[in-house]
Structure 1
Amino acid sequence: MTKPIRHAELYRMVYDTHTCPWGLRARDLLKRRGFQIDDHHLHNRDETEAFKAEHGVKTTPQIWIDGQRIGGHDDLRRFLGLKVHDPKAKTYTPVLVVFVVTALMALALSYGVFGQLLTVRTGEWFISLSMMALAMLKLRDIDSFSTMFLNYDLLAKRWIPYGRIYPFAELGAGMLMTAGVLTWLSAPIAIFIGGIGAVSVIKAVYVDKRELKCACVGGDSNVPLGFLSLTENLMMLAMAIWMLAMGSFGLGVAHI
């Protein structure tokens, strides 16, 4: 039996200088759900304000389905039983994305250099590239990062400039580790910042039982301070100890 075609009316801003992205997303969602759409364009600010005043709404787009006003894009998703993004919700996704991407980068580098996906350098590059990627995210807004960092880092609380130094130290150590040079410099830096970071997270989360946001991917994130945050510091420690051990045996990290 053929399902009846449902009718939707969409009102959205389409100016010469601006097209509402949420209106485009609403139209695409309606199309994918098989709705017949009457797509009404609001061509300028006056039309938009008059429309909002007429219908008593504060935003556009606005959607009607079978004569019933549904609301905007998020309201449409709720009406269709779909998940609506909550910008305030805590999530580990930013950190997981960094780790997945840097793992793929490490695999690509290993294959390009050695002709094999899995080598010792794959693991080393994964950690060092992760350090660089995380440092980059912190440096997007160093003021915001350093402010959030003050919530839990033990050294930053006692010496405020450390919050601004940290991402540069992490970036520099990661760069040297990626190149496999100056281990005498990169390893102590990683041990220092990774060790303090690990102790700080353990104290804040597992001893004091505080619920905080992690500054690991920048000061505007909603990543909870916890295991994945601790992982960043433990990886730096492990990488530094490994490189020092390899150097003590005369293996030369860059040539393993």
Structure 2
Amino acid sequence: MVTPKHLCPWGLKAFDLLKRHGYEVEDHHLASEEENERYKKEQDVDETPQIFIEGRHIGGYDALREHLGLGPDPKEGQTYQPVIAVFSIALLMAVAECWAALHALAPVRIAELFVAFSMCVLGILKLRDLQSFATGFVQYDLLAQRYVPYACVYAFIETLAGVFMLGGVLTWLAAPAALVVSTIGAVSVFKAVYLEKRDLSCACVGGGSKVPLGFVSLTENLMMMTMSLWMLLK
């Protein structure tokens, strides 16, 4: 469907897939919602676009991917991509900040900055939709299951602890708070995943994510625990 107010993303993605696989594409636009609905009724389909290859009806975008041997769209299944993006950028930020401040690559300082930046970014992702995060978090966090508002408190503690650690201020407050919540988090994840064998999505990058609960979630909490202990020792 292509109208002045709407451009179908699945139509564009299907067009791109066909072109990249060497097909010559004849693109027929549906110019209004009414025309779109009429076409679906006439063809007895529940979605557009509909793809035909050499006269053979393939189906919609997902059917096209299957026909081309690509499998489901990556967005549909569980993926570690959000966490990889956060940790990769946090590491690059840490290296850049260390170089800017010291004109050298100091491994210990890079590690400190990496964990603090990661906490801040993960905190932002949680804070952007606190209710959605809380919905996912209460499914496995032991304290949040007993006191639901703690889910929101956790997001603020993680974020502010990261900020204070970056600035080297209020460490006496930030480090113990982060240590407590990360320890509870680590125990909760270990219990849900490794003892109870539950198949859940992690709320570490915010609510509604497709990141599987498991090693990455446990790693996030262990990083916070290690950073907290290190800051207290310093």
TM range, smaller chain? over 0.9
Q: Does 1:109 align with 2:90?
A: no
Distance in 1, matches of 2:55 and 2:132, equals 46
**Cα displacement (A) at 1:232:** 0.9
Cross-structure match for 1:154: 142
Per the normalisation by structure 2, the TM-score is 0.93
Mapped contact 2:11–2:61 kept (Cα < 8 A): yes
Q: Which runs of 4+ in 1 moved over 3 A?
A: none
Aligned residue in 1 for 2:202: 214
Counterpart of 1:150, as a letter, is: V
Which of these residues, 112, 125, 150, is aligned with residue 124 of structure 1? 112
CA distance 1:39–1:111, change in 2 (3 Å): same
Q: In structure 2, how many angstroms separate the alpha carbons of the residues matched to 1:166 and 1:18?
A: 39
SS in 1 for 2:26: strand
> 1:99–1:130: 8 Å Cα contact kept in structure 2?
yes
Identify the residue that residue 80 of structure 1 maps to in structure 2. Answer: 68
Distance 1:178 1:43 in 2: 53
Report Cα offsets for 1:41-96 as digits up to 9, x if no partner: 11112222222222111211111111111111221111111132265533322222
Distance 1:29 1:139 in 2: 36
Partner residue of 2:6? 18
Residue identity opposite 1:133 in structure 2? V
Contact 1:110 1:119 survives alignment (8 Å): no
State the secondary structure of the residue aligned to 1:36: coil
**Bigger mean CA offset, 107-116 vs 86-95:** 86-95
Aligned to 1:5: none
SS of structure 2 residue aligned to 1:144: helix
Most deviating of 227-236 and 84-93: 84-93
Work out whether 1:182 is the aligned partner of 2:170: yes
Counterpart Cα distance in 1 of 2:63 and 2:106:
47
**Contact 2:190/2:218, CA 8 A, preserved across alignment:** yes
- TM superposition shift of 1:172: 0.5
Compared CA separation, residues 203 and 33, structure 1 to 2 (3 A)? closer
Query: Given that residues 155 and 196 in structure 1 are in contact (C-alpha distance below 8 angstroms), is that contact kept between their aligned partners in structure 2?
Result: yes
Question: In structure 2, what is the Cα distance between the partners aligned to 1:62 and 1:117?
Answer: 54
With 157-166 and 88-97 compared, the bigger mean Cα shift is at 88-97
Percent sequence identity is: 54
CA gap of 1:27–1:208, structure 2 versus 1, over 3 A, is closer
Gaps of 5+ in 1: 1-12, 247-256
The CA distance in 2 between the partners of 1:148 and 1:92, in whole Å, is: 16
SS of 2:25 mapped into structure 1: strand
| Counterpart Cα distance in 1 of 2:68 and 2:145 | 48
Equivalent position amino acid for 2:94 in 1: A
Equivalence for 1:9: none
Contact in 1 for aligned 2:65/2:73 (Cα 8 Å) = no
CA distance in 2, matches of 1:118, 1:76: 50
How far, CA to CA, are the matches of 1:142 and 1:181 in structure 2?
26
The Cα shift of 1:19 comes to: 1.3
Counterpart AA for 2:194? Y
- Equivalent in 138, 145, 168 of residue 126 of structure 2: 138
Q: Which has the higher helix share?
A: 2
**1:214 aligns to what SS in structure 2?**
coil
| Higher gyration radius (CA) | 1
Deviates more, 1:202-211 or 1:143-152: 202-211
CA distance in structure 2 between the aligned counterparts of 1:144 and 1:45, rounded to whole angstroms: 31
Tell me what 2:16 maps to: 28
Q: Distance in 1 between matches of 2:175 and 2:169?
A: 10
Between the aligned partners of 1:136 and 1:28, the Cα distance in structure 2 is 33
Q: How many equivalent pairs are there?
A: 234
